[in-house]
Structure 1
Amino acid sequence: MTISSSLNAGVAGLAANSSRLAAISDNIANASTAGYKRVVTSFESMVISQSGGTYAAGGVSVSNTRMIDQRSSLISTNNATDLAVDGRGFIPVASLAEVEAGSQPTMLLTTSGSFRTNEEGYLTTSSGLVLLGWEANADETFPTVARDTDDPLVPVKFDTSQLSAAPTTYVSLGVNLPADSALTGAAGDPEENSIQYFDNLGGQQDLSIVYTPTGLNDNEWTMTITDGATGTVVGDYTLTFDDSQTGKGTLSTVGTTIGGAYDASTGTIIVTADSGPIEIEIGVMTQLSSAFTAATIEKDGYEAASFAGVEVDEGGYVHALYENGSSRIVYQIPLADMPNPNGMKSLDSQTFMPSTASGAYYLWDAGTGPTGSVAGYRQEESTTDVATELTAMIQTQRAYSSNAKVIQTVDEMLQETTNIKR
């Protein structure tokens, strides 16, 4: 009966607008929730096949979609491990409870999180999410891993009580030797400088380097390198500089008496100190008519120091910071991407789980492919616009009232029908 279909359509309208009001309420309640993705309600008409001149109301159906692919603005914070995705992509996280249980945690995805190191050293949020990443090798490189699975991902964890040290393996000698001292037959004064390096235990040692003009030929020096840890000579070389118009005082040839041979392609020699091999770049040395200078000496390695904090750069690399100012790359946080982010399953704490509807995910290096960068000291604001939601609430209220009026009218018409028999 047509009048009965009108009643059913009114009931469907009440249910649909109630569902929309629930979505609006959720959006407004989370207007200040970092990383929250608003829910959008869609209405679809339901049409019943018609015959002749009669018409039966089909009503309306409703579907709610969380707009996971929408991004909001990023706000600054004072915590280095407040992380957000600047652009496309999702940060992998897992439940702290699953991690502590010792099982392989299920990868969840989010676009923003406030992470801090807990008492166990895990980088977690207050809601119990642990940051996931790939662990670095000892030399701060990363192994080749499968990008379409979360199996290689591990919880980001730090031993905050452990000291860290790295031996010196490379030194660059930005030294200038005075040209006036290296003349044939002249008894030029030797020059000396001492370079501090770090041994395998983070201790400080010295390489003493003495530069002596030979007096046998113009522009010719001997360079003697002594390891202060053992007092032995680990390098003895004869340096000849080019004083031509094109050479302009650069290093020309190197003769070796003690130590590794000179590699002209890299400008380096290798000497074996007490802590192991040290590559020394001497190709940057010059001989100019100026005073002896050793102002641009560079080296790697650092002394033993305690853990001081964590930072994450825009490429997703997690740096462990130490009190001596040094840092070390320990993890890399990839960004996940998939064909249909809105198809993911929504979970608590602004997390999402890939599903068949979202399509297969791929773990990209941040800033490569379609993904954006990882922003530290940032949080993503909620995508809720309160003004828009309040406007939608007024529309929903009016639509709900109108559907209620339809039901009331149908009720009055049915009453009139029953009154015909009286």
Structure 2
Amino acid sequence: MDVFSALQTAVSGMKAQGFSLENISGNIANSQTTGFKRVDTSFVDLVAEQAPNRQVSGSVRANSVLTNSIQGNIISTEIPTNMALNGPGFFAVQTKTSDVNGQTSFSPGNLYTRRGDFTKDAEGYLRNGGGAYLTGTSLDPATGLATGEGPIQISTLPVPAKPTSTIEYSANLPKTPTVSLVGKTFTDSTNPTNVDATARVGSVTAKDAAVLLAGSLAGPSLTAYSASGAPVDVNTRWAKVQDASPAVGDTPAKSDVWNLYYANSSTNGGINSTWTNSGTAFQFDGSGKLTSPNADAVNIANLTVDDINLGTISFKYGEGGLTAHNAGGISPSIQRQDGFSSGTLNSLSVSETGEVLGSYSNGNTVSLAKIKVVQFTNPDGLKADSSGNYRQTLDSGAPVTGLNATTIEGQNIEQSNTDIASEFSKMIVTQQAYSANTKVISTAQDMMSSLINIIR
């Protein structure tokens, strides 16, 4: 290498250190930018083609090194729609392209970001501080069915009432209850009990209500909803109507049989109410296992309380959810129904699995959207875009939708992964390296001056 080559090498060193300083300055400038990923610098030597015994160290080139795979600190905020990815992955977002006559248009392709400071704008979209719109699957709050893919838009319209169609209940009935209807008679009621496998629907009149209450145990009591959203209190009783007995001669063996009754009134405590048999003989074997009906649910037709017909209600107890081997009273474990009254949206939240949840004035919390999160084989191969967004490249690979092991932390954001102390240290090293390259230029200039002075 001659003096001129040394000058060129020193210049390349100054350019490389200047490039490094540019990255350092950008990292420091964005140390408080949500979801920002710092850019490090790597240096590569450039050696001209020479014989082995004539090779020199050569000049230098600086390259950027992305740190998209390095997570920043997660801090809590007071905004419920803020979210941070705890683990690898990116939010899929789109940008607004136009807004004409109230119609918003978005970019056709997705961008990807770790910036999760999303808030609901005036149109109901979830937009972050960089102007990107969160995408995913929007859901109907009443049915839970998907309504579309793309930017998530939260509707502020009231959710309509949903009539109760299913009551879920599981319990362990007593093997030998302290009270039962076995051998009891009703003076004013017709076919009020099922003492065999025939599914009869009978009504116990108000005159016989006292006999029923004295020979039965309290069952599930919950609030159901009519088609208009009106709340209806449904009170039930379990009564044993037949004891198990072995086969004797031509007389077949009998199982333990229980009946389920519901009150036709919700206001008088059941004493003066009529009670309707649900119409199913629940039969249990000696071990307390349900043997009939051979299903995990039964239908109660025209369930009517306070003259409000709730229609056909599925009484669902699940496989093994209804048994009869308890000691003493009834031990319930599940008791819920799927109806609700109309309600207005009160607040939003984000679950770990990526659901945007809405809490309504009717007490329900329903899923309004599913957030789209993607992962890349090589996240450091993404191309940085403005406002904290990234574009897919050949190096990054195709996006794979799904959280995998990543969780979403609602009411949190991810900070920049820039370490100010580390950047200051790199700045000092860069400054010294730049000064050293200028010293090479000064020395080369002195050598050239000496060479020129030879001929003077």
Report the TM-score, using the length of structure 1 for normalisation: 0.81
CA distance in 2, matches of 1:103, 1:276: 45
CA distance in 1, matches of 2:56, 2:395: 35
Maintained 8 Å contact 2:91/2:113: yes
Give the match's secondary structure for 2:35. Answer: coil
Deviation of the 1:36 alpha carbon: 1.2
Which position in structure 1 is the counterpart of 2:112? 109
2:407 maps to which of 363, 370, 373: 373
CA distance in 1, matches of 2:346, 2:160: 11
Larger gyration radius, structure 1 or structure 2: 2
> Aligned ranges for residues 6-405 of structure 1 at < 5 Å?
6-50=6-50, 58-97=58-97, 101-136=104-139, 139-140=143-144, 153-173=149-169, 179-185=178-184, 189-191=211-213, 195-207=222-234, 209=236, 222-225=259-262, 236-240=278-282, 242=284, 244=286, 246-247=287-288, 253=292, 263-272=293-302, 274=309, 276-281=311-316, 284=322, 290=328, 297-364=335-402, 366=403, 368=404, 371-405=405-439
Give the match's secondary structure for 1:297. Answer: strand
What amino acid is aligned across from residue 388 of structure 1 in structure 2? S
CA distance in 2, matches of 1:38, 1:212: 70
Give the match's secondary structure for 2:134. Answer: strand
Deviation of the 1:185 alpha carbon: 4.3
What amino acid is aligned across from residue 113 of structure 1 in structure 2? G
- CA 1:35–1:104 in structure 2 vs 1: closer, same or farther (change >3 Å)? closer
Maintained 8 Å contact 2:350/2:411: no
Q: Deviations for 1:165-222, whole angstroms, at most 9, x for unmatched residues?
A: 3322211345768542323246682137764211234222344656667689996555
Which position in structure 1 is the counterpart of 2:250? none
Give the match's secondary structure for 2:182. Answer: coil
Maintained 8 Å contact 1:98/1:105: no
What amino acid is aligned across from residue 364 of structure 2 in structure 1? S
Deviation of the 1:139 alpha carbon: 3.8
Gaps of 5+ in 1: 144-151, 254-262
Which position in structure 1 is the counterpart of 2:201? none
Deviation of the 1:419 alpha carbon: 2.3
CA distance in 1, matches of 2:98, 2:398: 23
What amino acid is aligned across from residue 203 of structure 1 in structure 2? A
CA distance in 1, matches of 2:328, 2:55: 102
Report the TM-score, using the length of structure 2 for normalisation: 0.76
- CA 1:98–1:71 in structure 2 vs 1: closer, same or farther (change >3 Å)? farther
What amino acid is aligned across from residue 78 of structure 2 in structure 1? N
- CA 1:92–1:227 in structure 2 vs 1: closer, same or farther (change >3 Å)? farther
- Identity value in percent: 27
**Count of matched residue pairs:** 397
What amino acid is aligned across from residue 63 of structure 1 in structure 2? N
Which position in structure 2 is the counterpart of 1:146? none
Maintained 8 Å contact 1:185/1:216: no
Q: Deviations for 1:358-407, whole angstroms, at most 9, x for unmatched residues?
A: 1111112x2x3xx4121212222221122221111111111000000111
Maintained 8 Å contact 2:357/2:365: yes
Gaps of 5+ in 2: 187-209, 246-255, 267-272, 304-308
Deviation of the 1:312 alpha carbon: 1.7
CA distance in 1, matches of 2:20, 2:336: 64
What amino acid is aligned across from residue 438 of structure 2 in structure 1? A
Which position in structure 2 is the counterpart of 1:418? 452
Give the match's secondary structure for 1:332. Answer: strand
Deviation of the 1:354 alpha carbon: 0.9
What amino acid is aligned across from residue 239 of structure 1 in structure 2? A
CA distance in 1, matches of 2:265, 2:109: 53
CA distance in 1, matches of 2:222, 2:340: 13
Give the match's secondary structure for 1:197. Answer: strand
Give the match's secondary structure for 1:102. Answer: strand
Maintained 8 Å contact 2:45/2:57: no
